[in-house]
């Protein structure tokens, strides 16, 4: 269907000012700025405010996947070959955005000074659904044995986080980004979960899907064959991730992926001197307290419906096995790397960290 834009908006001046950064800023500080603005782009300017480059969320993710340090400067990563328009050319912005080759267009004056930005996401589209109008599927069927003995009484999805439950906290995170459609796959103590939500009113839709036997972290997705007809977000019910979801969805589409895995970069420190030896067992050197960076699986994914068709008709299946199966079938599995804002609340230590993060008191007794 042809798109029709009813209004071409300019960005609020105060927000635009937050998008301007110098080229000597580190990627570490850039990630903080991106989180603050909630957009997927920053503009790099010289001291006199001339636009010298742009840096998108995708540029940063690609740098992280290449193993670049967060101490790398913007000047080493930014895109210097960008398209910008002057005020006299602003009428061309709509055509550029409609071409789908651009999601943002900087506006400069005749001397190249940055003065504003128009973005595809800022445009009102007649008769078109919001970008985040896709389902969120929450896997809430497990027993939560890592939180035993608490999980012997409550399913882990109903564990308290302040005055909310885990699953409510997860849903609220999504709701803040505009998600309103939730599919919850339940098994263990499912009637308790359903009863809890039946007693409270919500501003979003919840559909419970019964898993009759334990099907693993991915096997339950086969129950969605008649439920979803497009891409969806998948998350475990013990994961709270404060993500840039518009950026994640854009990354998934840009890479034409069947499955996108959100990967969390973790640093693993070795608290000892590590010996390196040669083939004759002679000591080459000692590496004192080295560290390694790894991307670990977060438990949050973007999934296309084609993935469901790959899942075997019966029996349990874990997500790692599904990913291997997709790779074997030459289906595209992408990774979206993040640095922080992720909590695996299915284990006690991370559960405590989450409570502290949200300012819940008296966590020492847990």
The number of angstroms, rounded, from the C-alpha of 201 to the middle of its chain's C-alpha atoms is 27
Please report the pLDDT score of residue 99 as a whole number.
65
Residues 190 and 277 in one domain: yes
The answer to whether the predicted template modeling score (pTM) of the entire model surpasses 0.75 is no
**Phi and psi angles of residue 80, each rounded to the nearest 5 degrees, phi first:** -90, -10
182 and 75 inside one domain:
no
Q: Which of 149-153, 224-228, 300-304, 335-339 has the highest mean pLDDT?
A: 300-304
Predicted confidence (pLDDT) per residue in 135-161, tens digit: 999 998 776 555 555 555 677 788 777
Please indicate, yes or no, whether residues 313 and 179 belong to a single structural domain of this protein: yes
pLDDT in tens, 37-89: 777 889 999 999 999 999 988 888 888 888 888 889 999 999 999 999 888 88
Residues 145 and 267 occupy one common structural domain: yes
Q: How many structural domains are present in the chain?
A: 2
The CATH number of whichever domain residue 172 belongs to comes to 3.90.550.10
More confident position, 21 or 347: 21
Task: Classify residue 261: in a domain, yes or no.
Answer: yes
Of 125, 151, 179, which closes a domain?
125
Q: Is 262 inside a domain boundary?
A: yes
Lowest model confidence (mean pLDDT) among 56-65, 170-179, 347-356: 347-356
Residue 130 resides in a domain: no
**How high is the pLDDT of residue 9?**
61
Of the residues 75, 105, 125, which one is the last residue of a structural domain? 125
Residues 218-223, mean pLDDT to the nearest whole number: 93
Using alpha carbons only, give the angle 219, 220, 223 rounded to the nearest 5 degrees.
Answer: 120
| Of 76, 98, 125, the domain-final residue | 125
- 232 plus 294 within the same structural domain: yes
Average pLDDT over residues 217-237: 92
241-263 pLDDT tens trace: 878 788 888 889 989 999 999 99
Instruction: Assess whether 153 and 285 both reside in one domain.
Output: yes
Check residue 126 and give its pLDDT: 40
Range of the domain at 97: 5-125
Q: What CATH number is associated with residue 94?
A: 3.10.580.10
- Assess whether 113 and 155 both reside in one domain: no
Is residue 116 one of the residues assigned to a domain?
yes
């Amino acid at each position: 269907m042809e798109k029709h834009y009813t209004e071409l908006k300019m960005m609020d001046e105060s927000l635009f000012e937050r998008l301007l950064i110098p080229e000597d800023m580190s990627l570490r500080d850039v990630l903080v700025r991106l989180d603050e603005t909630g957009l997927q782009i920053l503009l790099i300017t010289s001291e006199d405010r001339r636009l010298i480059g742009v840096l998108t969320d995708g540029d940063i993710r690609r740098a992280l996947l290449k193993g670049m340090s967060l101490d790398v400067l913007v000047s080493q990563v930014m895109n210097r070959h960008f398209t910008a328009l002057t005020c006299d050319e602003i009428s061309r912005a709509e055509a550029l955005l409609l071409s789908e080759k651009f999601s943002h267009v900087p506006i400069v004056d005749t001397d190249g000074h940055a003065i504003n930005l128009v973005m595809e996401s800022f445009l009102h589209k007649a008769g078109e659904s919001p970008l985040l109008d896709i389902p969120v599927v929450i896997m809430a069927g497990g027993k939560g044995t890592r939180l035993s003995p608490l999980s012997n009484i409550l399913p882990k999805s109903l564990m308290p986080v302040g005055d909310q439950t885990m699953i409510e906290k997860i849903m609220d995170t999504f709701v803040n980004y505009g998600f309103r459609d939730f599919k919850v796959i339940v098994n263990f103590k499912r009637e308790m979960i359903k009863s809890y939500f039946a007693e409270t009113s919500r501003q979003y839709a919840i559909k419970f899907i019964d898993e009759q036997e334990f099907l693993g972290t991915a096997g339950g997705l086969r129950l969605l064959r008649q439920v979803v007809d497009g891409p969806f977000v998948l998350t475990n019910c013990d994961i709270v991730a404060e993500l840039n979801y518009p950026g994640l969805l854009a990354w998934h589409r840009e890479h034409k992926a069947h499955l996108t895995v959100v990967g969390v970069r973790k640093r693993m420190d070795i608290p000892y001197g590590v010996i390196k030896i040669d083939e004759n067992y002679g000591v080459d050197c000692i590496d004192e307290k080295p560290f390694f960076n790894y991307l670990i699986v977060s438990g949050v994914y973007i999934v296309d419906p084609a993935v469901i068709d790959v899942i075997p008709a019966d029996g349990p299946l874990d997500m790692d096995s599904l990913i291997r199966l997709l790779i074997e079938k030459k289906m595209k599995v992408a990774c979206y790397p993040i640095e922080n804002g992720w909590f695996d609340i299915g284990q006690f230590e991370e559960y405590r960290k989450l409570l502290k993060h949200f300012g819940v008191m008296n966590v020492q007794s847990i």
